[in-house]
Amino acid sequence: MKNMKNKTRVSAVCALSAAALLTGVTAPIASAAPSHHTGGGQSARAIPFTAAEVTAQDDGSYKVTWKAPGVRKVAVRAGGRTVATGGSAGSVTVRGLRAADRQWFDLVPERGGELRLADRLIQLDGTVNFRDAGGYRTAAGQWVKMGVVYRSDAWDKLTDADLAKLRRLGIEVDYDLRMTSERTAAPDRLPRGVAYVSANVSGDAGGGGWSMPTTAEGAVQMMIDGEKSMVSSDTGKAAYTKVFNGIADDADGSVYHCTAGKDRTGWASATLLTALGVPRATVMKDYLASNDYRAEANAAALAAMPAAQAAVYKPMLDVRAEYLNSGFAEVADAYGSFGTYTKKALGLDAKELRHLKAELLVG
């Protein structure tokens, strides 16, 4: 029964990968950006912001929001100048900034450490779900740096302009979470000098020995089984160990991705953020954001199918709370706690976790 259970889970991830291949729709281009080292210069002082976000608007402006209880004045700086001010809570729209690869905003409180943020999405011609893994607050009040670690969908459709932008962003390591068949069919295009690391989460076992679900309920179960396999399978543990040990050694300019950037990549981000102390609700929000970023691509894929087939495929193109929750449930069942999982399954002991937090957290 154990072998059958493992086979089912591996098959689920393989089928999930096949479904992801249907979503290869490219995104429109927009912004632009400085180096990932930008985030590293933030103050080590306690950061008073309990919430903050930068969102690019369709008209080229940026909405900047924040909450900093007990702070009377906050200055919003961009491009070396103050572009807005506000009180302990604010929401401002900033227009007229010079074109840049990526617009960075410094939120400077009258006291305490400042916070550097940008819009999470990295807009490229050849991806729809390439975004910053940082910009979130931990339960302890620190913030995950932006501009250091990224998550993405496949890189096979990157244009020359995309590669130039990624070089300017300072991308250094590409962790490819896909199966061999995916990598062969759609090999990554890499900026010059970027190190490529294969970290095959699902492995290549059973190639063709699985079948696609025939009902929506079966598709949901396949996604749940696939999520659990990412946690407990030997290939999943080996792949994520490779990724997280690499990031722990040198986080700067790291990207991990699969085909759609939502499932294998989603568990990678959920693991990273949880290990850094980000609350579960925030981790879930980041995970579910793939539904928004992939909405157009998924709709196009489903529209190309007969209605009955689309009903079966939709659960595999979605990310849903029950999928991610099944991964965390598998952690609890198999390891007892998340800390034990990171130590025993991923090889991150207390010392390495402290180093990871020192690299990626500010405040």
What percent of the chain stands above pLDDT 90?
85
Taken in order 23, 301, 317, 60, is the CA torsion positive or negative? Answer: positive
pTM given for the model: 0.89
Structure confidence by residue, pLDDT tens digits, 237-267: 999 999 999 999 999 999 999 999 999 999 9
Question: In angstroms, rounded to a whole number, what is the distance separating the alpha carbons of residues 11 and 63?
Answer: 43
Architecture label for domain 2-26+126-362 = Alpha-Beta Complex (3.90)
pLDDT 10s digits, 291-348: 999 999 999 999 999 999 999 999 999 999 999 999 999 999 999 999 999 999 999 9
Instruction: Kindly write down the DSSP assignment for every residue of 99-144, as one continuous string.
Output: P-SS-EEEEEESSS--EEEE-SB---SS-SS-EES---B-TTS-EE
**Percent of the chain whose pLDDT exceeds 70:** 86
Mean pLDDT calculated for residue range 178-187: 97
Q: Model confidence over 103-149: pLDDT tens digits?
A: 999 999 999 999 999 999 999 999 999 999 999 999 999 999 999 99
pLDDT given at position 211: 77
pLDDT in tens, 139-170: 999 999 999 999 999 999 999 999 999 999 99
Alpha helix (H) ranges present in the chain? Answer: 2-20, 160-169, 180-185, 216-232, 234-249, 264-276, 280-293, 295-303, 307-317, 321-335, 338-340, 350-360
pLDDT given at position 213: 95
Query: Does the pLDDT of residue 36 top 70, yes or no?
Result: no
Question: Is the pLDDT at 8 greater than 80, yes or no?
Answer: no
Task: Write out pLDDT tens, residues 55-90.
Answer: 999 999 999 999 999 999 999 999 999 999 999 999
CATH 2.60.40 maps onto the chain at 45-120
Say what the pLDDT of residue 212 is.
86
Q: Which CATH class is domain 45-120?
A: mainly beta
What confidence tier does 207 reach under pLDDT thresholds 50, 70, 90?
Answer: very low
Which of 146, 143, 174 has the alpha carbon at shortest distance from 37? 146
Tell me the pairing of strands 89-94 and 62-67. antiparallel
116 φ, ψ (degrees, to nearest 5): -105, 125
Domain(s) labelled CATH 3.90.190.10 in the chain stretch across 2-26+126-362
Question: Cβ distance 297 to 303 under 8 Å?
Answer: no
Token match 């190309």: residue?
304
Q: What is the mean pLDDT of the chain?
A: 90
At 350, list the tokens: 């207390």
Would you state the pLDDT for residue 362? 97
Task: Tell whether the model's pLDDT for residue 10 goes beyond 90.
Answer: no
Distances (CA, A) of 35 to 41, 101, 151, 340: 12, 10, 16, 35
For residue 37, pLDDT beyond 80 = no
Confidence of residue 19 (pLDDT cuts 50, 70, 90): low
Residue with tokens 């076992």: 205
- For the residues of 4-20, what is the DSSP string, one character each? HHHHHHHHHHHHHHHHH
For 169-191, the DSSP string reads HT--EEEE-S-HHHHHHSPPP--
pLDDT value of position 39: 41
Smallest CA-to-CA distance from 327 within 212, 224, 219 is with: 224
